[in-house]
Structure formats: C-alpha cells, structure tokens
Amino acid sequence: MATHPLWRPFTADGNAARQSQRVAFRQVDPGSLQDHDPRWIDAFARVRDLVAGALGADHTIAHVGSTAVPGMIAKPVIDADLLVPDLSDERTWLPELEAVGFRLVFRDVIAGDPHRQLTLGDPNTNLHVWQPGAAEPQRHRLFVEWLRSHPEDRQVYADAKAAAVNAGNGLRYNDAKAAVVHEIYERAFASDPHHAHDAQPRP
C-alpha cells in the first residue's frame, strides 16, 4: 500500500495530550473566530521582520494556518513556522527571540518532530520552531496551499471550526476539528502528482 511521505496517523486528542509539555502561557488570548482580515498578511510580515531582526534574514519562516488562507474564518492569531539549524541548542536562537518579545510556551514533539512553540502579544502570534527537514512544517504548507485552491474544502474546514467552538463534548478546539483536518489531508495526498497515496481510513 502506497503512503504519502507526509501522512501521519489520525490522533483524536493530540492537543490535549501535549498540555503536560507546556512551560508557560501565552501573552494574549487567541480570541474568537472571525471573517478573514486582509491585514493578517501585513501582521505576518511584521512577525517575519521581527524574527529576521533577531536571528538574521537567512532563516526560513512561513505564514501557515487559517490566517494565511484568504476567505477562511480564523481566530485572529498569526501562525508561522520557523526553521533553525539546531532546535535543541536553544542558546543559539531562543534568547534572541525572547529579547524581542516572544515567549516559549511549549517544548514538545508533534507527530515525531521535535517542536518549540513561542507566542507573541502584538501581533498575536504562534511561532512554531522546527529543525530543517521536519515533516510538520511541510504538511502545514501543503494544507494552506490546498485550502487556497479548493473552496469546497475551505467551507468544510470553516464549518468544522465553527462546530469545534460550539462543541460540548469537552474536546479542546484543535482536537474537535482533527477528524476533518485528517480527511482534508487525505484528499490532498491522494491528489499529489509526485507521490502515490492510498487512502488511510482513520479508526
């Protein structure tokens, strides 16, 4: 059975499980879902410039998440993926980011990739830090590109986000929409002309 190299097994409670790896809390609450705001592109540019000023312009940083998708409802928080040469050597990158206002809130592993999550208050930001070659930032970019070009899945995901906000089953927001995210990835993987992929039913 062919499997896309970016495929990951479905996890229903991954976000809840990682809470034990939290080291601090974010500066500003994520806020409520709202219609897409074109100013989010400019907000990401501010984050990019802040990171470049702290670490140098040779670091790869990408705007990901729903605020990077025109037409998508989102919580007003910029998600960005940053690659650093050696994630484990925090002395080479973390103090510089903290000096310009970022705060480390998670030190964990996501789908096999070592990960650090920092937040920023203005603009409200989740900065996800990875090592080069990590699969998760590649998955994030694929997801954004898919949603930008597939309005039907934008609507499916928007509906899932709205339902997750109103869920009364005790699931955390990201876990409440995890099943729909997995299904969208399955469609994106199956359509990738560069890699064969057979559908992987979630349990």
Q: Is 168 a residue whose pLDDT tops 80? A: no
pLDDT at 5 over 70: yes
* Residue 138 near residue 185 (C-beta atoms within 8 A): no
- Residue 170: band (very low, low, confident or very high) from pLDDT cuts 50, 70, 90: low
Does the predicted TM-score (pTM) go above 0.85? yes
Over residues 84-94, the pLDDT tens digits come to: 999 999 999 99
Q: Provide φ and ψ at 53, rounded to 5°.
A: -65, -30
Given pLDDT bands bounded at 50, 70 and 90, which one contains residue 165? confident
What's the pLDDT band for 110 if we cut at 50, 70, 90?
A: very high
pLDDT exceeds 70 at position 109: yes
Q: What are phi and psi of 7, to 5 degrees?
A: -65, 140
pLDDT at 169: 58
Q: To which H or E segment does residue 78 belong?
A: strand 78-83
Task: For residue 160, report the phi and psi dihedrals to the nearest 5 degrees.
Answer: -65, -40
pLDDT at 140: 98
C-alpha to C-alpha distances, 200 to 2, 149, 172, nearest whole angstrom: 10, 23, 24
Rounded to whole angstroms, the Cα distance separating 30 from 74 reads 10
Q: First vs last Cα of the chain: how many Å apart?
A: 17
